[in-house]
Structure 1
Amino acid sequence: MNKTFRIYAVIFIVVMVILALLEVNKKETTDWRKNFDINEKSPFGLFVFNNEAKDLFKNHLKKIDRAPYEYYSQNKKEVHNIVIIENNIDTESWKKIMDQVSKGSDAMLVMNLMPKEIADSIGFHSSDISFEDENVLKLTDKKYRNDFIQLDKFPSGKGFSFIKPGVEVLGKTVERKNTDQANFIKVKFGKGNFYVHSEPLFLTNYYLLKPGNVRYAQDVFSYLQDRETLWFVENDTKASRFFMRFVLGNPALKYAWWIFLGGLILFIFFNAKRKQRIVPVIEPLRNTSLDFVKSIGNLYLQEGDFHDMMAKKAQYFLNKVRMDLLIDTQNIDEELAKKLQLKTGKPMEMINEAINLIKRAQDPYASVMKEDLARINKLLDELLK
């Protein structure tokens, strides 16, 4: 055994011992990501709800791990219940769901955001209604007034605005400093109904394990009729749990994996150092941020969706006003215009024109031209100087 190899072996052993000690003494950290995975026991997984769902739906529940489009294309169903919980559904599948509801089925959608074209078809518009760290979810029905749930960890702050006539509000988000905002609605659609809840956190492990919170979940799903219920779960949930999830979940295998990676890195490092000859000149990475912004801008222009661009520009401006000028932008009115005039020193005519354009941008039914987009962009940039 030559001297060089012995040096490498000693370095490798020392590094592996250090890695092992670090792993042994490492404290387990809580995963607070909102994964909404039925197999996850982390705070914002759906493991508890998944185990209790059959009892909640009186054994009428059937989990479907296929896309709604694929399932309904192959199965003809009588009227039934449909449950979607924070699932990415494609457009064609949404059309199938809407067709089932129009024929008499009921759909319970528990999601932060709905696709715009679907929300417009059903009759509402979802948006940010809260920026508080805590709030309370309550139902409007008097028989459920004692059943509520307090969200004290990362509430999404999503709710409903621009609700069309005929939409029934079943639940609200309650805060100390703000007025109550709708978060649970019922929409009549054909012969059936859509029930849409904008805050799926109440179904996660963290909240269901708290005493009394299960009753709120039971109340929400009690609006569905007692009949067959199809729950469309993530299509690739099983496939996504590849072998590394098992390896990293077992401490012994995890340490072996890290030792293997460490040895491989050392081998590559020392082996490459011995055989390396000419080092090629590597050009520094070019900053492509501006090109990316231009590409996105060109894409919007090609689509011709000037209204969406105006809405994003207005949202960005209002956020800057809240963060930089410390002005409340909940109400877009004369009071806001006066505060902007005092803070920015800009002419009141300019501010009033900008506010009118912001209102148009926030109105999903307003007609917007290219010239309006150019004007609001110029005005809002001028106000923020």
Structure 2
Amino acid sequence: MNKKVKIYIALFIAIVVLLIYADATKVKPISWFPSYVAKHKMPYGTYVLRKELPSFLSNSTIKDINAAPYVFLQDSTVNGTYFFVDGGINFGEDEFNELLKFVERGNDVFLSTNGSQIDTLGLKTSSLSTLELNEKHYVSLLNPAFSDKKYSFDRPMPRIYFEEIDTINTTALGKITMFDKDSVALKSGVNFIKHKFGKGNFYINTFPLAFTNYNILHQKNDAYVASVLSYLDPEKPILWDAYYKTGKDKITSPLNYILNSKSLKWAYYIALIGVLFFVFFKGKREQRDIPIITPLKNQTLAFTRTISNMYYEKSQHQKIANQKINYFLVWVRSKMNIPTDVLNQSFYKHLASRSNNTEEDTEKVFKKIAQIQQLNTVSKEQLIALNSLIETYKSKTQ
């Protein structure tokens, strides 16, 4: 190993160490992605809510549902409160019909989302907005027991309220109110309702971020969550929806799993850098100029011509004739695929059909060959006649 290679290896190790140190010491940015997944401890996960749900609803059993509601509710014996929390939930028509049947039997559905397909219930939502630059918003409950409590949230959030409700079957339970910088109320709208359907109820809240980790732990806003959940029947089992979530609680790809683990991530990066160094050094070491080698010329034809001219100049017509006959027989065996052991009428007929010649021409050629083979000497004219006859015969096959 020469000095130059050692320097490169030392440089490689130094770079890897510096990268690992930089990654280990940097502050990991907080992810504000609204996942709503019960396993996520990020600000907008629902780890705290899922963990504390038994304390909010002390008499209820809690079951995680990982299947779509349409599939899960095929079992008509299921009962309880189906609990949905996510940024946006869009049920299919058939799926929502299953939820309607579920509620109609005397069960409940708690749905906290910014938007959903709820036209079937005669509900229409909109966004609350004002012209105030430094506006603040608070949420509160309309029950007299909670009416004196307002809950604020310090991060920008959707301010969805119910623009239209079915007043016959719907009860307003909570609202959102916009205030100016002097704490003067500007606008307000209902954001939490109870909708009666059959023997059960829909509880619909348009502020799902209130149920996330950050907002439950911030400024004791867990009291708001507890107040909202107090409307649910504590005797009914809670069916926690783990299917409709913006985030994913499972690894979706091997690479995603590797990059989300610090140790595996750096092992992966080191392996990639090592491969690049290997390709660079290996290629530099072994790659050489490839000399151009001129291929050998095929001298078979020139050799044949030389031998034939030697025979011809020495007037050895008989040897040339025999060679011509031998080459012709080889041609019959190799090109026409016909053995030349027995030369009879059947052979002439078979060869004629294969070579596109007449049976008479075939017999004529082989009679000429037999005649030449019986002679002790062959003249120039006889050799030319034999060659002409054979070449004419062969040309018809082409």
Q: Give the TM bin, normalised by the shorter chain.
A: 0.5 to 0.7
Q: Which residue of 2 aligns with 1:239?
A: 250
1:183 to 171, 183, 191: 191
Partners of 2:191 and 2:273 lie apart in 1 by 50
Q: Which residue of 2 aligns with 1:222?
A: 230
Q: Which residue of 2 aligns with 1:85?
A: 85
Partners of 1:271 and 1:191 lie apart in 2 by 76
Q: Which residue of 1 aligns with 2:138?
A: 136
Alignment of 1:1-385 (within 5 A): 1=1, 5-6=5-6, 8-58=8-58, 59-73=60-74, 75-77=75-77, 79-86=79-86, 88=89, 90-91=91-92, 92-114=94-116, 118-130=117-129, 134-166=136-168, 167-177=170-180, 178-226=186-234, 227-234=236-243, 237-240=248-251, 247-248=258-259, 250-264=261-275
Q: Deviations 1:32-60 (Å, cap 9, x if unpaired)?
A: 11111111111111111111112222242
Residues 261 and 47 (structure 1), Cα distance of their counterparts in 2 relative to 1, 3 Å cut: farther
Give the superposition deviation at 1:11.
Answer: 4.3
Q: Deviations 1:282-332 (Å, cap 9, x if unpaired)?
A: xxxxxxxxxxxxxxxxxxxxxxxxxxxxxxxxxxxxxxxxxxxxxxxxxxx
Residues 15 and 145 (structure 1), Cα distance of their counterparts in 2 relative to 1, 3 Å cut: same
3-state DSSP of counterpart to 1:210: helix
Give the superposition deviation at 1:120.
Answer: 0.9
3-state DSSP of counterpart to 1:99: helix
Residues 9 and 110 (structure 1), Cα distance of their counterparts in 2 relative to 1, 3 Å cut: same
Relative to structure 2, which stretch is displaced further, 97-106 or 130-139? 130-139
**Contact kept? 2:121, 2:166, Cα under 8 Å:** no
**Contact kept? 2:136, 2:179, Cα under 8 Å:** no
Partners of 1:133 and 1:20 lie apart in 2 by 45
Give the superposition deviation at 1:84.
Answer: 0.8
Give the superposition deviation at 1:251.
Answer: 4.0
Give the superposition deviation at 1:207.
Answer: 1.6
Partners of 1:269 and 1:213 lie apart in 2 by 58
**Contact kept? 1:148, 1:213, Cα under 8 Å:** no
Give the superposition deviation at 1:209.
Answer: 1.6
Partners of 2:52 and 2:256 lie apart in 1 by 24
Residues 250 and 144 (structure 1), Cα distance of their counterparts in 2 relative to 1, 3 Å cut: same
Give the superposition deviation at 1:151.
Answer: 1.2
Structure 1 residue runs without a partner (length 5+): 276-385
Q: Which amino acid aligns with 1:173?
A: I
Partners of 1:191 and 1:26 lie apart in 2 by 56
Give the superposition deviation at 1:250.
Answer: 4.9
Residues 144 and 253 (structure 1), Cα distance of their counterparts in 2 relative to 1, 3 Å cut: same
Give the superposition deviation at 1:241.
Answer: 6.7
3-state DSSP of counterpart to 1:160: strand
3-state DSSP of counterpart to 1:165: coil
Residues 53 and 268 (structure 1), Cα distance of their counterparts in 2 relative to 1, 3 Å cut: farther
**Contact kept? 2:113, 2:206, Cα under 8 Å:** yes
Matched length: 272
Q: Which residue of 2 aligns with 1:333?
A: none
Residues 271 and 150 (structure 1), Cα distance of their counterparts in 2 relative to 1, 3 Å cut: farther
Structure 2 residue runs without a partner (length 5+): 181-185, 288-398
Residues 89 and 261 (structure 1), Cα distance of their counterparts in 2 relative to 1, 3 Å cut: farther
Q: Which amino acid aligns with 1:43?
A: P
Provide the TM-score with structure 2 as the length reference: 0.60
Partners of 2:284 and 2:70 lie apart in 1 by 55
**Contact kept? 2:135, 2:179, Cα under 8 Å:** no
Partners of 1:81 and 1:228 lie apart in 2 by 6
Partners of 2:135 and 2:44 lie apart in 1 by 16
Q: Deviations 1:265-289 (Å, cap 9, x if unpaired)?
A: 55567779998xxxxxxxxxxxxxx
Identity of paired residues, percent? Answer: 28
Q: Which amino acid aligns with 1:262?
A: I
**Contact kept? 2:40, 2:249, Cα under 8 Å:** no
